[in-house]
Amino acid sequence: MPLPGNLKDISIHLVGAKGTGICALAELLVSAGADVSGSDVDEVFYTDSILRQIGIKVHGFSRDSLGDKTDYVIRSAAYDESNPVVAEALIRGLPVLTYPEALGDLSRRFDSSAVAGVHGKTTTTALIGTILKALDSSATVVVGSAVAGFGDRSTWSGGNRFLVAETCEYRRHFLHYHPHRIVLTSVESDHQDFYPDYESIKTAFLDFVDLLPDGGELIYCSDDSGAEEVAREILGRRPGIVLTPYGVSASGKWRINRGRPAAGENRFKVGAFSQEFRLAVPGHHLVLDASAALALSYSIAMKETGRFDVSRASEALAGFRGSRRRSEIVGEAGGVLIMDDYAHHPTAIATTLKGLRDFYPDKRLVVDFMAHTYSRTAALLEEFAGSFTDADVLLLHPIYASAREVYDGTVTGRVLWEKTADYRPGRETLYCETLEEAEIKLAGILQSRDLFITLGAGNNRPLGARILKELSL
């Protein structure tokens, strides 16, 4: 059952309200006039402050948390009928939508664009929002993480004509969305618990791009072999879709030319403008993301006003400071710069570390990584082991398990450590069973002018805050 056209005074309860996506959806619903409540675990997340700011009270997971006047329930895809709140909603006969279903339903009401891909979609969406905000666009942007330029929120709204949202390929969730434009950053094997091989995940992306109407636009990274393959195949299937490539190997407006390297700065040009763009965030992957953001923002601006203010866009990119868990600076103490990044796939790890190496050439790179899911680690074991070549010192941990998979005992954190050490002869590659053990070892490792970064989708992020506190004493 879809959400009503007019959400004013409609009572909606969010199950898993602290999740980044659900929290972003909450902002959309509140701005539309809905009466929103939520439930989640007691653990404190950064989204708690956002929910408080927009007036949403979050209860624990109990049947009593569902108010008597609730009209709709929207649940995180992580929760099903085994959750007491969802179970109560079903008993009452209330309409229950998943987050992807609700976002997809809302996307029908806008001229909507989607950002998709195995890597880079969060940063690309944040960059799009940053540019559209600078252009005073009548758009709403939904990002899968908090963005500094959005007041540390995950949404920005300048109006309700356009919607740009980060969309997720897991379990084909993005097929609920209704896009007029799609940015496709990358396609490669991932989520092995659902997509057993590359062909299965590529098919999902093809089916998603196929949702574009005739005249719809696919903005794709020509430097990524998977995205290039999807674009090539969709051209044969749907010749009415407009293909817009970006990247170093692209032809046309969004061909990238890298500027001269400079420590602490990314410089580049694209074919459409003589203007040189600058980014204060590391990595060539950020240049790709920024080029994609320029391409989509240009497409929206030309439809909205018929003009694109490249000077404003350039200033917006220069002022971009990233989003939470994407090369996020945690702090600096004792001469050590401490960062955190969500990179949890071998390609993202290698790209992130290479970017940091180029951006901070005078710093020693000390990395703490926790692998996420046994299925991904097992399927990409060799790729993981070879992805840390830019790390001077590396600490590894037990694999952070997912509730959505069953451990078969074949791959462990120690197996990954042993395999990775083979790729790093002569360099420190340590194994730590706990964060406490890692903290003790780091006390004897870290020194002034180091860059320490926690990587992955596990639970090692708090290690950065602990190290910062110790070094600040």
Among 78, 84, 33, 79, CA closest to 55: 33
Residue ranges of the chain assigned to CATH 3.40.1190.10: 110-318
The CATH code that applies to domain 11-97 is 3.40.50.720
pLDDT at 261: 61
Per DSSP, the three-state class of 471 is: helix
pLDDT at 404: 65
H or E element: which one contains 105?
Answer: helix 99-107
Does the structural domain 110-318 have CATH classification 3.40.50.2020?
A: no
User: Which residue type is seen at 272?
Assistant: A
Cα angle for residues 222, 225, 230 (degrees, 5° grid): 80
Q: What is the mean pLDDT of each run of 10 residues along the chain (473 residues)?
A: 90 94 91 94 88 94 92 93 96 96 94 96 96 97 88 89 95 96 96 90 98 98 98 96 98 91 83 95 91 98 98 96 80 95 91 91 96 92 96 96 73 96 95 97 96 94 94 89
What's the pTM value of the predicted model, to 2 decimals?
Answer: 0.86
The CA distance from 174 to 267, in Å, is 33
| Token pair in block for residue 83 | 């959750």
Residue ranges of the chain assigned to CATH 3.90.190.20: 328-472
The CA distance from 26 to 71, in Å, is 15
pLDDT at 78: 85
The CA distance from 446 to 334, in Å, is 9
pLDDT at 67: 86
Residue ranges of the chain assigned to CATH 3.40.50.720: 11-97
The CATH code that applies to domain 328-472 is 3.90.190.20
Side-by-side strand order, sheet with 393-396: 328-333, 336-341, 450-455, 364-369, 393-396, 428-431
The CA distance from 40 to 18, in Å, is 6
| Token pair in block for residue 410 | 């074949």
Q: How many Cα atoms sit within 13 Å of 335 on the Cβ side?
A: 8
Cα angle for residues 324, 16, 326 (degrees, 5° grid): 10
